[in-house]
Amino acid sequence: MAKKSKARAQTLSPRQQSPQKPLTSRRWRLKLVIGGAVLAVALGVGGLVRFLQQRDLAPHLQGTGDKHYTQGTAGAAVVIKEFSDYT
């Protein structure tokens, strides 16, 4: 019986023979890499959405202040559009 056990031990792959600690460490590293990738993708998507929103503003803002009350010079280099609530 003892001989048989020895033979089985010899057939174990190097991975199975490796201690538990490095395996856990590898799993953590994998989790960190995946977490980092997910975070990077989320930040990228957020940045892209923000960029697209700002880019979309430009054509909308070209509308003039027709029927709106204005102060200052028409056709000025800087146009301030103010949205305010009286309450």
Partner 1 sequence: MQRFEGQVQLVLYPFALNPTSEVATQAAWCAGEQGKFWEFHHMLYRRQELWSRLTAPLERLIDFAKDVNLDTATLRSCVESGRMQDRMQADKAYGQQLQVSSTPTMFINGYRIVGTQSEGELVRLIRQELNRVRPQGQ
How open is the CA angle 50-53-57, to the nearest 5 degrees?
Answer: 140
Cβ neighbours for 65, distance < 8 A, ≥ 6 positions apart: 79, 81
73 binds partner 1 (CB under 8 A): yes
6 binds partner 1 (CB under 8 A): no
Query: Cα 34 vs. chain centroid, distance in angstroms?
Result: 12
CB of 17 to partner 1, least distance (A): 60
CB of 57 to partner 1, least distance (A): 6
With CB under 8 A as the rule, give the number of residues binding partner 1: 30
1 binds partner 1 (CB under 8 A): no
Tell me the C-alpha distance between 44 and 73, whole Å: 40
Binding site for partner 1 (CB under 8 A): 53-54, 57-58, 60-61, 63-65, 67-87
